[in-house]
Amino acid sequence: MTDTRPSKHAEEMINWNLVFPNQANPSGNMFGGDVMAIIDTTAAMAAKRFSETQVSTVTVEAVHFAKPIGVGDNIKTTAKIVDVGNTSMIIKADVYRDIGANQLEKCVSAFLKFVAFDNQRKPTRVPELKLAPGDEQANRLAQEVTRAAIARQKAFEKIMAEQVQI
């Protein structure tokens, strides 16, 4: 059977935020949950724009907090579709801290999986992804992250099944 889905390039979503004191711990570092909320929102915008449907987060496949983000920092969040399934999309998101002199420092990277759904909240097909030049590495990394996430989920389910028997 031939796939008749349309294909399209993904658009990078960009979101700027200022970190306020109520988003930080006593040391002045932004709460991870607040960073994740911004990542999730920016990724949702990318997924909705690409699929042209309603979307919902399925999983956070991976997240890495590499550098702290502080109160008063201007942060730039980017999100872009880097792989698709039939009804799902993998979005790579990065959060950068503005360090001045027109320079950014990468602080957080994440891969999230979203599903597209129709008005009856049933999963619906998404377009095929046309990779833009330079997106091949992110696509390969997304596939590796997805495989690792599936393996982690299976291991977790096995552990939980054994716990029930104890």
The residues spanned by each domain of the chain are 7-165
pLDDT in tens, the chain (166 residues): 566 889 999 999 999 999 999 999 999 999 999 999 999 999 999 999 999 999 999 999 999 999 999 999 999 999 999 999 999 999 999 999 999 999 999 999 999 999 999 999 999 999 999 998 888 888 888 899 899 988 988 998 888 888 866 5
Superfamily of domain 7-165: Hotdog Thioesterase (3.10.129.10)
Whether the predicted model's global pTM rises above the 0.85 cut: yes
Beta carbons of 93 and 79 less than 8 angstroms apart? yes
* One-character DSSP codes across 128-165: EEEPPTT-HHHHHHHHHHHHHHHHHHHHHHHHHHHHHH
Q: Which residue has the tokens 């042209």?
A: 52
Quick one: which H or E segment has residue 59?
strand 54-65
